[in-house]
Amino acid sequence: MDKLTTIVKCIFGITLMISSSFAAGQEQPSQKKETVISAKSYSVRPATSDIKIDGVLDERAWEESLVGDLPYEWLPGDNIPAPVDTEFLITFSKEHLYIAFRCFDPDPAKIRAHLMDRDDTDILIQDDHISVMLDTFNDERRGFQFRVNPLGVQADANFSEMEGYEDFAWDAIWASAGKINDWGYAIEIAIPFNQLRFPSGIEIQTWGFSAERSYPRNVRHRMTSHKRRRDINCILCQFNKITGFQGMKTGLNFEADPTLTTIRTDELNDFPNGKMEAGKIEPDPGITLRWGITPNLILNGTVNPDFSQVEADVAQMEVNTRFALQYPEKRPFFLEGADFFLTPIEAVFTRTVADPDGGIKFTGKVGKSAFGFFGTYDRINNLLFPTNQGSAATSLEQGVAGGVFRYRMDVGQNSAVGVLYTGRIGEDYYNHVTGLDGFFRISRTKTLNIQFLHSESDYPDDIKLNFGQKPESIGGNAIKADFFHNSRNWMYGLTFRDLSPDFRADFGYVPRVDVRELNGQLNRIYWGKKGGWFDRIHIGMNGSVLYDYEGKLTDRQLSLGSLYMGPLQSTVMLRLNRNQEFYGGKDYSLNRFLLFSELKPVSGLRFNLMALYGDSVDYQNFRKATGLTLGPFAEFNLGTHVNINLRHNFQRLDFKGEEVFTANLSQARFIYNFNVRMFVRFVIQYMDISRNTSLFVFPTLPKTQTIFSQFLFSYKLNPKTVLFLGYSDNYLGMTNIDIKQTDRTFFVKLGYAWTK
């Protein structure tokens, strides 16, 4: 343990020295030269006519616009000539950025294009499509991404270079159109400047820019407007530069998004023989406001915000698990500027805010300084109690005020240092977390990421008693340090984590503490040749050791594996794991085999399978067992309009040849897309768990069955002007009790985005 502690102290000391050197502007000339990448630069001119977004590039403004091409294929080829020709065109008015594409295709009948919901990237990436990324501050740290398929279907995302963060939950309001014709397809895009962040001022601006085309056939060809080198571990630093932006206007840069959600829930008054009682109709109005004080300073406010979830979370199996599960954030207020609050330790996880009365947020970037603040008042206090061996959770029906402050300063060419504070205060309760972090690009292939946090917490007396917390207030520390090398043929890295037993991050997602962990990984990459039997092969190993604060080795892992990617967009991953795990006072030696395979043979078809077999720990009964997990998945696009998505999760645990439990979780999703704005969807989830009660230490039900179904009609004029009509219900069945409906919900949601 002394050795592990020494390692992290050394890393932290090196980090401070690097930070001081960068902040003082003492970067070595050789290093600066190494990280600067040369890509073609362009000059853009204002539009000379109005432009109609219809997928037909017949306006005079396009004839006189900037024109560039996508000459390089970076996957699977290594900056080889692109297999098809592509042109991009750029111009702008005072209010909009206009981008167009001409995507030539020798066989337009093979163009892959389907209708789908906005941001349904699982389907979109299987289609032909184009992608644009804008580095509007030209600082090579953050980008806005926009994707469009040949039918005009949109996807947009935030991208943060330092965290490797690509978030398609972020939404902007913009226009796009696509048109397939006899030479390929064309796309037009209009992005209002009030949907972007960029430096304020009247000076001519230069932005980083990347145009990409995805051309999926036997393999997925990805082509760009600039070289994308495999021996450089940064993306934004390789972009083209476009200069000439000036005189952009954002208007008042004000957006109001009022919503009205009306819900009625009927519930069974006495399970299983009661009657369904009709609930009250509950209207729930709310409003969210967004004001761009300047193009780079954004103020958001919300009163009784609409956080209704019309998209059901993908069900996760919670059988034989130790730690709390995590679901992604989908709520608009929290997604605005979410990348400002990213740190190596996930100290900010906004789904801990369950039912807020309201909130306020202020985010922006001025020069080298990026900052963010948000505050909420929540009607419910969600709490997570982590340990080395597992985690427990509860919710208190009491109000809690919370706030997060984040500041980050750019140093050097591609590095940054920052501070973070999170706080939550309620009745007889508080949790405060403060800390420092830094991201340092040591060279074009090597990065160092480090964070230190300190927490102070106190809980109500009954919570301390029921969840085994100390009678007094507690405080703890957390450290995480990552070093990574990512080059053309080699990837390796080292991660150190140290979280003390009393560290708590109640605004975040930290399900395990009382750990000191060292993890290392090494991967060799082999690249295929054009038309060969493989596109890419990874062979590697991963190892880790994890101790608790008493010096007990609680986890040790050694993993050997390989990854194959080849024709028919096929993927096969094999991994052998040899683990040692301490749980319930016992040490377990575990050998497991993992297989994942995926195939996308033709347009509109996708299949994959995950299989895990080997030794496992029966956490409920404190013994070694044998486990099998299977996860088949299939997706079918029938024509342009219909999508069918089927997934299943099977788990079985055996002890000395006898079944402990068998769990099946199935989900089917059927969608009919009328056009790019309107669809109907039906989702059904079925879970069936059977248990051998004679093999359980504690009393348990022999059988549990649940069914969840949801019907949704969706119309989206844009991401925030929407109409949703829906119905959902739940069914429950147990041993000797047939499945019976326990509740049903009807809901209507209206949302409108007013921009000025």
**pLDDT score recorded for residue 321:** 53
Q: What is the pLDDT of residues 545-571, one digit of tens each?
A: 999 999 999 999 999 999 999 999 999
Share of the chain above pLDDT 90, in %: 78
Say if residue 292's pLDDT is above 50.
yes
As a whole number, mean pLDDT of residues 338-362 equals 89
State the amino acid at position 671 in one-letter form.
Answer: I
Per residue in 29-57, pLDDT tens? 333 444 455 799 999 999 999 999 999 99
Task: Domain ranges for the chain, please list them.
Answer: 37-245
CB 738 within 8 A of CB 248: no
pLDDT tens digits for range 497-540: 999 999 999 999 999 999 999 999 999 999 999 889 999 999 99
**Residues 692-750 pLDDT 10s:** 999 999 999 999 999 999 999 999 999 889 999 999 999 999 888 889 999 999 999 99
Per-residue model confidence (pLDDT) at position 25: 43
Q: Is pLDDT of 112 > 90? A: yes
Residue 451: both structure tokens together: 């964070």
pLDDT value for 4: 41
The amino acid occupying position 655 is F
- Residue 727 is classified by DSSP as E
Looking at the predicted structure, is the pLDDT value of residue 304 above 90? no
Q: What's the CATH number of domain 37-245, 3.40.640.10, 2.60.40.1190, 3.40.50.10490, 3.40.50.20?
A: 2.60.40.1190
In our burial notation (b when 16+ CB lie closer than 10 A, e otherwise), range 286-323 reads bbbbbebeebbbbebbbeebbbbebebeebebebbeee
Give every CB contact of residue 541 below 8 A, 6+ residues apart in sequence.
521, 522, 558, 559, 560, 561
What integer pLDDT is reported at residue 307 of this predicted model? 52
> Residue range 8-28: average pLDDT?
44
Would you place residue 21 in the very low, low, confident or very high pLDDT band (cuts 50, 70, 90)? very low
Three-class secondary structure of residue 236 per DSSP: helix
pLDDT attached to residue 66: 97
Q: With bands split at pLDDT 50, 70 and 90, how would you rate the model's confidence at 164?
A: confident
* Segments of 250-351 assigned E as strands: 254-268, 276-277, 281-294, 297-303
Both structure tokens of 686:
């079925």
Contact 141, 165 (CB under 8 A): no
Percent of all residues in the chain with a pLDDT value above 70, rounded to a whole number = 92
Instruction: Give the SS3 label for residue 54.
Output: coil
Q: Given pLDDT bands bounded at 50, 70 and 90, which one contains residue 327?
A: low
Per-residue pLDDT reduced to its tens digit, 613-637: 999 999 999 999 999 999 999 999 9
Which among 18-27, 387-396, 658-667 has the top mean pLDDT? Answer: 658-667
User: What's the confidence (pLDDT) of residue 328?
Assistant: 65
pLDDT confidence bin for 10, thresholds 50/70/90 = very low
State the average pLDDT over residues 261-274: 90
